[in-house]
Amino acid sequence: MSQLAMTEPKTKEPRPGAHGAILVSGAGGEMGHTLLAMLAAQHHGTREIVALDLRALPSESAGHATAAYAGDVSDPAFIEDLALRHDISEVWHLAALLSTRGEKSPELALKVNVMGSANLLKLAADSAARRGSSVKFMFPSTIAVYGVPTLDAKRAAGRVTEDQCLEPITMYGVNKRAVEEMGRYYARHYRLLAADRMDCAVDFRSIRFPGIISADTVPTGGTSDYGPEMLHAAAQGKPYACFVRPDARIPFMTMPDAVRSLMELADAPRAQLTRLVYNVAAFAPSAAEIAEKVREFFPKAEITYAPTLERQKIVDSWPEDCDDSAARRDWGWKPEHGFHEAFAEYLVPKIKARYGA
């Protein structure tokens, strides 16, 4: 594996019939960390895996890639250069600034989240035209694309479907929603003549993720971070002041379930998919219920509440839960971890091993 900041571009002609390279942006982030390992395990060295992140990848992650680059997705020259070096046939575009970070630097969020996505969608369309076959574009979206105006409206909305309450209040939510529509535009208007039919050049597929809890990493810059932070603090014997009220409720899932859902959607036959963007759901506890579950496994956990106005407002605007019946019907989505299993079978054993708790 080579880990480079880009210098001289190299042209790589597509080999006819070859599978082409899988490009993963945001490969050093929380989801990228797990996804790279799972893609490497799935392909056993039979596919080129090109990892991209703003900073050099930790060696463990870089080891799962055949090439790794440090660079900015919002820099079109960098992305064009990458397209010259690798015959890219699949894009997993994870790079993004999350919701809390995005509210601190809205223009930077717009640049990275929207312009970065525009650059990679163009790369996918150009690559499809050159290869003469569709390029799959996997895009993690978020529950931040939803926006409920009041707590009463949130309770009344309950489990939202993909087409309800689409009035995001954060720049991050607005950005992700915009990219969903950009993906739809590319899927609809960029076509390839394949044998006797017209295929989409960019096979855009997206999942709106809830808050994600990983045993291996703690997120930064998100607003659902109180869930994972509470657990990781308890496992390290540290006190934790939760930045939302005890009654704040949004959906969550475990990282292995989240990454598996994206991989299952990628593998689903296109003809079975009735949508480009899907909800997935697993469990939807309040902050107090998460605290209670943490105390079940770490009885000495010190958890208090110190809600901050900005982050509380964001969580209040997100739905209590999501209706994932389309994903269950179209591609057989089913979470492995419910609320209790998430802690008992995955989070707590791994976290205890990690911190020696």
Contacting residue, 61, 89, 99, 113, with ligand AKB by CB under 6 A: 99
| Beta carbon of residue 224, minimum distance to ligand AKB (angstroms, whole number) | 4
Is 211 an interacting residue with respect to ligand AKB (CB under 6 A)? yes
Q: Which residue lies nearer to ligand AKB by CB, 144 or 291?
A: 144
Report, in Å, the least distance between residue 21 CB and ligand AKB.
27
Cβ nearer to ligand AKB, comparing 113 with 119:
113
Crossing angle, helix 287-297 and helix 226-235, to 10 degrees?
Answer: 20
Supply the minimum distance, in Å, between the C-beta of residue 183 and ligand AKB.
17
Q: What is the closest distance, in whole angstroms, from the C-beta atom of residue 269 to ligand AKB in the complex? A: 28
Active site residues: 172
Return phi, psi of residue 136, to 5°: -75, 135
Residue labelled with tokens 């990848």: 57
223 contributes a contact to ligand AKB by CB under 6 A: yes
CB of 211 to ligand AKB, least distance (A): 5
**Segment interacting with ligand AKB (CB under 6 A) among 16-24, 116-124, 179-187, 216-224:** 216-224
Rounded CA gap, 264 and 241, in Å? 36
Residue 224 binds to ligand AKB (criterion: CB under 6 A) = yes
Question: Please, what is the minimum distance in Å from the beta carbon of residue 34 to ligand AKB?
Answer: 14
CA 160 to chain centre: 19
117 makes contact with ligand AKB (CB under 6 A): no
Residue nearest to ligand AKB (CB): 222
Answer yes or no whether residue 222 interacts with ligand AKB by CB under 6 A: yes
Q: Is there binding between residue 142 and ligand AKB (CB under 6 A)? A: yes
Cβ contacts of 292-301, under 8 Å, gap ≥ 24: 293/339, 293/340, 293/343, 294/230, 294/231, 294/234, 294/343, 295/234, 296/343, 297/234, 297/343, 297/344, 297/348, 298/234, 298/235, 298/357, 300/234, 300/237, 301/230, 301/233, 301/234, 301/240
**C-alpha angle with apex 117: 116 to 120, nearest 5 degrees?**
90
State which of positions 156-185 bind ligand AKB (CB under 6 A). 172
Per CB under 6 A, does 143 bind ligand AKB?
yes
**Calpha distance 339→325 (Å, rounded):** 19
* Binds ligand AKB (CB under 6 A): choice among 82, 144, 207, 234: 144
- Interface of this chain with ligand AKB, residues 284 to 343, rule: CB under 6 A: none
In the structure encoding, which two tokens stand for residue 336, read together? Answer: 């492995």
> What's the half-sphere exposure (Cβ side, CA atoms, 13 Å) at 134?
21
**Is 279 in a helix, a strand, or coil?**
strand
β-sheet bridge partners, residue 240: 303
Binding site for ligand AKB (CB under 6 A): 98-99, 142-144, 172, 209, 211, 222-224
